[in-house]
Chain A
Amino acid sequence: MYEIVAFYLFSALTIGLFLVTVLSKNVLYAMTSLAAGMVLISGFFFILGADFLGAVQLVAYVGAIMALYSFAMMFFDATRDIKEKNTNPALVFLLGGLSAVVLVLMFAAPIHSDAIQALYPMHEGVGNAQDVGIILFTKYLVPFEVAALMLLVAMISGIILAGKKMDQSLTEDMSADDEILTQKDEK
């Protein structure tokens, strides 16, 4: 019973929040609704019994990635609405709707599911984190190390790309700086 209520609540809220993300003109609204939707997606993972994945989603997505986005948003002018000229909105919605129909048909199609057997089955009476740890450090050890190396490369490239000319102001108009200076003078 709780599972049904939670599933429908989470799915309705997630779809609504992601629609706000995709359709909003304001970067701040889009980012906050994206963060809230990611928190609710970790709720899906907790319903599904993937506790460790839910915790990783909260820590990595909501913690790290959204902090990176909000950090990058400070470089750009976030208060102004984004002006986007859409050349042909009808065509875009037609294409998106057609792809949605194809996807739903693909996922709802009957599959020969008896032939699928679990490669790494979950164990009874063992917590999800222990199970994940055993599989991750035996069968998936090489991809795990490669992922660690990839994150290191990404960190270095992020530092190098963003760190150049940090002492220069990004925004062209200096009116904000002048405003701060005049306020200081008045004091």
Chain B
Amino acid sequence: MIGLSHYLIVSALIFSIGLIGVLRRRNLLMLFFATEVMLNAVNIAFAAISHYYNDLAGQMFAFFIIAIAASEVAVGLGLLIVLYKKYGTLDLDDLASMKG
């Protein structure tokens, strides 16, 4: 029988995949994809806990995470387009203007 820990382990695996993506990507668009993967992993965990504890609060949090992800994508893609118009690249190493 599938228990809560099955879902939580799948969610943790997907979250780590997103974390690896955030760590190794240098392209800004690909970094956005990796953050979407992480947000989806958290949504799975919320829905699973909501199901197994018979509580609706987890699903509510998942709804608000989806709303936040939608606005993040809208603002972030606008910023990406402005960056691409200004510099012609989306690579983080080329965009770094502060030498440290």
Binding site for B on A (CB under 8 A): 3-4, 7, 11, 14-15, 18-19, 21-23, 27, 30-31, 34, 37-38, 41, 44-45, 48-50, 52-53, 56-57, 60-61, 64-65, 68-69, 71-73, 75-76, 82, 84-86, 89, 92-93, 95-97, 99-100, 103-104, 106-108, 116, 118-122, 131-132, 135-136, 140, 143, 147, 150-151, 153-155, 157-162, 164-165, 168, 170, 172
Contacts and interface: CB of A to CB of B under 8 A. Distances in A.
A4 B51 contact: no
Given A50-B51, A122-B55, A84 B27 contact: yes
Given A48-B48, A82-B30, A84-B91, A3 B74 contact: no
Q: Give the bracket for the number of chain B residues in contact with chain A.
A: 35 or more
Contacts of B18: 18, 22
**Could you tell me the dominant secondary structure of chain B's interface residues?**
helix
Interface of B: 1-2, 5-21, 23-27, 29-30, 32-34, 36-37, 40, 43-45, 47-48, 50-51, 53-57, 59-60, 62-64, 66-75, 77-82, 84-85, 88, 90-91, 93
